[in-house]
Amino acid sequence: MNRVLALTRSELRLIFRNKTVLISTLAVPLGLGLFFALTGFGDGSGASIIAMQLAMVLGLGIYVAATQTLVARRQNLVLKRLRTSGISDAGLLTATIAPVVLLAVAQMVLFAVVDVAFGLPMPSSPLPIALAAVGGLALVVTAALATAVVTPTAERAQITTLPLFFVMVGGAVVLAFLPLEGIASLVNLVPGAPLGSLANVAYGGSAFSLVQLASLVVWPVLFGLLARRNFRWDARA
């Protein structure tokens, strides 16, 4: 555990040393999240704002940033070298991703404070939002590991992360506005869509469904299996 913490500290220090990473990890999602809160994004009901804040922090702050970090560390052979140290493989991946996760969680807390300060309507039940945050976290972390499998360079990560990022944000936005029911609720199966639909549930817009739960569980499991099977530690094929 001490080794994971030591590497996490080192990675965190690196984020604050690299302005480009700092902006993409911290400033952009933070700025967008504040923008949504200040402008009353969408119908101003709260569900759409919280869904977008979650989607931005999870998508940009973790998914894109973690994929770039993993691929960059692999590309310059750092992952390969660190595997020769005393840290376990799981510990190495955890410590590499942990700093962006910590910063993202800090941003979520900040958004909660800002939303309260700006008088955003409070959800009738905060549990669905907590579920969306935890499930979303599992989704983006495993998705970052899986996307790293098909991403040869850190520059290419800006492209390979786009499809899932847009699907996630799109799904979250659509389902925050539209409480789909019946067969249409299967849209919840799109990765990230439960961020919106669970925000809607939290504000009493629709009922909680097992499809949402299935989506929260199935995608991280699939991405996790894909990464476990195919993750490469070496930049060389």
Partner 1 sequence: MRRPTGTVVPGGTVVVMTETAVRTDIAIGVRDLRVRYGEFEAVRGVDLEVRRGEVFALLGTNGAGKTTTLEVLEGFRTRSSGDVSVLGLDPGTERHRLRERMGIQLQEGGFVDELTVAETLELWGQLSPREDRVGRLVDRFDLAHRRDVRVSALSGGEKRRLDLATAVWGSPELVVLDEPTTGLDPAARRRTWDAIQELQDGGRTVVLTTHYLEEAEALADRVAIMHEGRVAVAGSLSEILASRPSSFSATLPAGVTPPPGIDGPAVRVQTDDLQRDLTAFLGWAADHGVPLTDLRAAPASLADIYLSIRSEA
Residues that bind partner 1 (CB under 8 A): 2-3, 6-7, 10, 14, 17-18, 73, 76-78, 80-88, 236
Taking the complex as a whole, how short is the minimal distance between the CB of residue 84 and partner 1, in angstroms?
Answer: 4
**Closest distance to partner 1 from the beta carbon of 18 (Å):** 6
In whole angstroms, the minimum distance from the beta carbon of 24 to partner 1 comes to 16
Can you tell me the distance from the alpha carbon of 112 to that of 58, in angstroms, rounded to the nearest whole number?
A: 15
Task: Kindly report the backbone phi and psi dihedral angles of residue 61, in degrees, each rounded to the nearest multiple of 5, phi listed first.
Answer: -70, -35
> 98 or 143: whose CB is closer to partner 1?
98
| Nearest Cα residue to 137 out of 62, 68, 75, 77 | 62
Return all residues near 150 (Cβ < 8 A) that are at least 6 apart.
160
Query: By C-beta, is 229 or 236 nearer to partner 1?
Result: 236
Q: Which C-beta is closer to partner 1: that of 94 or that of 209?
A: 94
Any residues with CB less than 8 A from the CB of 62 and at least 6 apart, and which?
Answer: 97, 100, 101, 104, 137, 140, 141, 144
CB nearer to partner 1: give 18 or 125: 18
Q: Shortest gap between Cβ of 222 and partner 1 (angstroms)?
A: 25
